[in-house]
Structure formats: C-alpha cells, structure tokens
C-alpha cells in the first residue's frame, strides 16, 4: 500500500521532471496523508496547431478517490490506493482508468514493517539515485449534492519488489519518465495498452531507511521525520496480517 509519502523538491524541479511549463510555489511536504491535497498531472488534451504549450496540466486533488456514481459519501471507504490488478474492471476505478489516468510526483514514500499483527518499524523508501518519482494515479471528479465539484485521486499499487518485500507486500506503481506520455494518453491508449506499465519498480531502484515513529502522526511535518532511526529489531519473517480481498490495507471511513 501507499499511505504516506513526501514531496520535498522545489516547484521548478518538479515542473521540469513532469514536463510542465511551471508550477505555483509550494513548500516542501514531508508527511503527506490521505484526505490532504496532492499534486496530480493529467493530459491537457489536443493542442492547437503550432502551440508550444505543454500537453500536460497540473491540479490539486484530494487524496482519496470518490467515484462519480457514489450517492452518499458517509460510510463510503476512503480509496486512497487502487490495486493495479483488476483496476480496469473494478467499478470504483473503471472510468478513471479509461479516461483520467494521472501522475503524482513524490520524493519517496513511507512503509511500516509489521510485527505480530501490529504496525512496527517505519521506513522512508526513496529512489536510490535521488530525485523524484512519479506514481501512477487515477483521478475522478465528484459532484457533491450541493452542486460543487471536488477532484479526487487514488495512487495505484502493485506487488512489492525485492527492495521492500520484507517490509510490506505492496508498493506504489512507478511510471518512468519515458512512459509518462503513454500513461497519460487516454485518447489513444486504452487500459489494456498500458497494463504493462503497472509493474513493480526494478530491483535496486529504491532504498529503505529506518526512521522513527514521528512519521506515525500526521501533525509531524518536519524534515526530522526522515532521519535514520531504528526503534527495535523486527524479525525478517514477520508477515502482515491478512487483508480482505480486493482492498489495500488501511482503507478508512470517509467522514
């Protein structure tokens, strides 16, 4: 799963990585959690002949997807992750997978190694080469009963690679820069055409750094939460407790 991540690059660095003209100024964010606003990038659609404007657009979305067909949000699960396996068939994600595929930039993400069914040692998982990564995401615009609209998103996950398999069995899907256009192209690329991109990152892509439990609290937002710290030794054989089929761990109540 992916339940916390960070974006600490500057707006200029983020815009350059994503192929955007520019981004409004924003601060470094070290502990981004579900229900908070996150930056998402989508295709801007066809450009006028001769236009030199980027074919991608950025917007702030609420992390926690609400399908357009939901009538009552109270009690509806908070879909901050979308399992890539079967997303194109699942009712909650089918329309977004076909029409609103997106990228969410990140400097890395946090994961917790389970111990005896309890959340144990947290890790800061970052690209070994440094820099940014782009998570595969799905965006849905939800019309509230009062008439206002809210853009929402879910980050897609897949099976963990060798870098973090002993920490958690799931990880976010990473889209490589050479595949950005293909992933975002919902006009000519159907879900079956991009299914091959929904795979674990190559072994050696990420490194996992043990950090303190400061990251457990959403209120802790400073850079110190990424300082290396080992709270206790967790047996390598510890396994996460079983989940309900079809849902990532940590799906929560919307309100």
- Region 7-18: what's the mean pLDDT? 98
Find the helix or strand (DSSP H, E) in which 12 lies: helix 11-18
- pLDDT at residue 48 is higher than 70: no
Confidence of residue 245 (pLDDT cuts 50, 70, 90): very low
The per-residue pLDDT for 235 is 45
The per-residue pLDDT for 45 is 72
- Region 236-241: what's the mean pLDDT? 46
Cα–Cα dist 61/76, whole Å:
18
105-114 confidence digits (pLDDT tens): 999 999 999 8
3-state SS, residue 13:
helix
Which has the higher per-residue pLDDT, 16 or 115? 16
Q: Rounded to two decimals, what is the model's pTM?
A: 0.87
Q: Which of 126, 150, 123 is nearest to 139 (CA)?
A: 150
Confidence of residue 47 (pLDDT cuts 50, 70, 90): low
The per-residue pLDDT for 144 is 85
The per-residue pLDDT for 226 is 97
177-229 confidence digits (pLDDT tens): 999 999 999 999 999 999 999 999 999 999 999 999 999 999 999 999 999 99
**What number of helices (H) and strands (E) belong to the chain?**
4, 14
Q: What is the CA radius of gyration of the chain?
A: 18
- Percentage of the chain surpassing pLDDT 70? 87
The per-residue pLDDT for 14 is 98
Confidence of residue 49 (pLDDT cuts 50, 70, 90): low
The per-residue pLDDT for 253 is 29
Average pLDDT of the chain is 89
For residue 152, how many other CB atoms are within 10 A of its CB?
Answer: 24
Which has the higher per-residue pLDDT, 64 or 248? 64
């Amino acid at each position: 799963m992916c339940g916390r991540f960070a974006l600490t690059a500057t707006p200029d660095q983020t815009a350059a990585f994503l192929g955007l003209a520019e981004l409004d100024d924003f601060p470094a964010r070290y502990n981004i959690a579900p229900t908070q606003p996150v930056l998402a990038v989508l295709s801007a659609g066809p450009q006028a002949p001769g236009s030199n404007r980027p074919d991608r657009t950025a917007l702030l979305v609420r992390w926690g997807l609400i399908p357009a067909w939901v009538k009552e949000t109270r009690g509806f699960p908070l879909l901050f992750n979308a399992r890539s396996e079967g997303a194109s068939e699942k009712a909650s994600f089918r329309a977004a997978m076909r029409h609103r595929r997106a990228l969410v930039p990140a400097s890395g993400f946090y994961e917790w190694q389970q111990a005896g069914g309890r959340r144990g040692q947290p890790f800061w998982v970052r690209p070994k080469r440094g820099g940014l990564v782009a998570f595969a995401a799905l965006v849905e615009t939800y019309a509230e009963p009062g008439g206002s609209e809210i853009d929402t998103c879910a980050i897609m996950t897949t099976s963990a690679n060798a870098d973090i398999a002993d920490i958690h069995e799931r990880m976010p899907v990473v889209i490589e820069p050479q595949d950005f256009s293909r992933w975002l192209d919902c006009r000519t690329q159907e879900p079956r055409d991009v299914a091959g991109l929904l795979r674990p990152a190559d072994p050696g892509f990420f490194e996992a750094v043990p950090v303190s439990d400061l990251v457990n609290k959403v209120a802790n937002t400073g850079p110190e939460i990424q300082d290396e710290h080992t709270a206790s030794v967790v047996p390598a054989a510890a396994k996460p407790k079983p989940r309900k089929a079809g849902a990532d761990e940590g799906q929560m109540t919307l309100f």
